[in-house]
Chains A and B, each alone.
Chain A
Amino acid sequence: MPGKYKTAEQKRLAFEKIAFAHMDALYNTALRMTRNVLDAEDLLQDVYLRAFRFFDKFEVGTNFKAWIFRILTNTYINRYRQKIREPQRQDFNKVEFSQGDKSKSRDEKYETHYDEKLYRDLFEDEIRDALDKLSYDFRAVVLLCDIEGFSYKEIADIIGKPIGTVMSRLSRARQQLQTHLAEFARREGYVKKS
């Protein structure tokens, strides 16, 4: 076997030791990328198999998490982005509520514009829903920065874009996210009152 590992067994053990620690992070990100449990599992498996195949090329001591996340985003873009249709997310409850919202005065709507407390009671499902509404480019930077805690430089490496792009995407993504979150929060408040 070519490369730095003498046997396949050695390579596998070295790989497991370093790669399995990131499984949950990869799984969560894959899940939010594909928005679907089955595709997320396929993606996760693809990522691990690719990472394992190219593990000889990984330089020990460098940032493994960023390395395997780069494989994740590349794999997703190459294989899944075209294939997976955007899911039809037309929920009739939502339609009704958002129409009901329009009857509220503008002031009421924007009253709690950026209040942190407002989001504290949101369920994780609603946060996930709000994330899922973002386009892939925006979702990716939010997942990598706010959930996985990568630095802008690492994110730039992972998605292959300059730091400036990362920054503006992230700014806009959070702005968009807040409109979706505020919508959920308002709906919550609306339901509680009645």
Chain B
Amino acid sequence: MKSTCEEVSDKLSGFVDGEIGAPAIQDITAHLEHCPDCSDKEKTQRAVKSTLTNPALRLSTPHDVRARLIRAIVRQPERLSFGALVQRLFEFQPVPAFAAVIAIVALSGLFSFWSGQRIITNTAAKEPLALLINSEMEGEVVCIDCELLAVSGTPHIHDANHRAGLRCTDGHFWNILQTDKGTELGRLENLMSKRVRVKGHIFPEQHLVDITEYSVI
């Protein structure tokens, strides 16, 4: 069966991508041999496809977008599904629901006390760490640029201002995400070289902390 140009050009993407069956391939190959127009279109398909593989087209998600997204997800359970569930329970079973709430509050108090003890001091973990939400970290407030200068010994671009970061006990440096708290910590000159304990979200891959709370120890 012979196909028209219109039928062929609608299938050219499938032809180029190897997404059509053998009979269709044969059919199109035969058509392309005697049709320069469709043959041009076939080359166009390949050229455009290869243009789009340009890796520069792929951006990585900006840190602040990532941080806001993670915050939204962390806030999610109690706000939506859990809240709705509790509300429904109270409507149908007020007394057992009330007892359950008391039990849950007591248990979660215990749990948060226990999980709050997890403080990260050694950051050179062997296995790739997932994002750590609401974790704690201890370190010394340093200027990342000054430290890099000292380590490499080569001239390093240093802005007029120091750039605050954390140095953990194992010597690893952590950048601080420029959120309200993060910027505040960086601005306080007297915090330089002080040891602080920070609370927040830790991005091991980016070596970045999103600080929500901090205290000097």
Question: A interface vs B, CB < 8 Å?
Answer: 1-2, 8, 11-13, 15-17, 20, 23-24, 27-28, 31, 41, 44-45, 48-49, 52-53, 113-116, 118-120, 122, 124, 127-128, 142, 145-147, 151-152, 163, 167-168, 170-172, 174-175, 177-178, 181
Contact = CB atoms under 8 A, between A and B. Distances in A.
A53 B81 contact: yes
A142 B17 CA distance: 12
Closest 10 CB pairs of A and B: A170-B13, A168-B10, A8-B77, A146-B52, A114-B43, A124-B56, A171-B13, A27-B61, A174-B48, A119-B51
B77 A48 contact: no
Contacts of A27: 59-61, 65
Interface string B60-87: 1100011011001110111011100100
B57 A124 contact: yes
Interface residues of B, number: 46
B130 interface: yes
A127 B54 contact: yes
B50 A167 contact: no
B50 to A, nearest CB: 6
Contact of A116 (B47, B61, B66): B47
B94 interface: no
B181 interface: no
A171 B74 CA distance: 42
B12 interface: yes
A24 B65 CA distance: 11
Given A27-B65, A53-B81, A145 B17 contact: yes
Given A44-B65, A151-B19, A171-B10, A142 B52 contact: yes
A128 B77 CA distance: 37
A147 B13 CA distance: 14
Nearest to B57: A124
Nearest to A171: B13
Interface in B168-191: none
B79 to A, nearest CB: 10
Contact of A12 (B40, B66, B73): B73
Contacts of A17: 130
B9 interface: yes
A31 B59 CA distance: 10
A53 B84 CA distance: 12
19 contacts: A1-B77, A15-B73, A31-B59, A52-B73, A53-B81, A116-B47, A119-B47, A119-B50, A122-B51, A145-B13, A145-B17, A146-B52, A151-B19, A167-B20, A168-B13, A171-B9, A171-B10, A171-B14, A175-B45
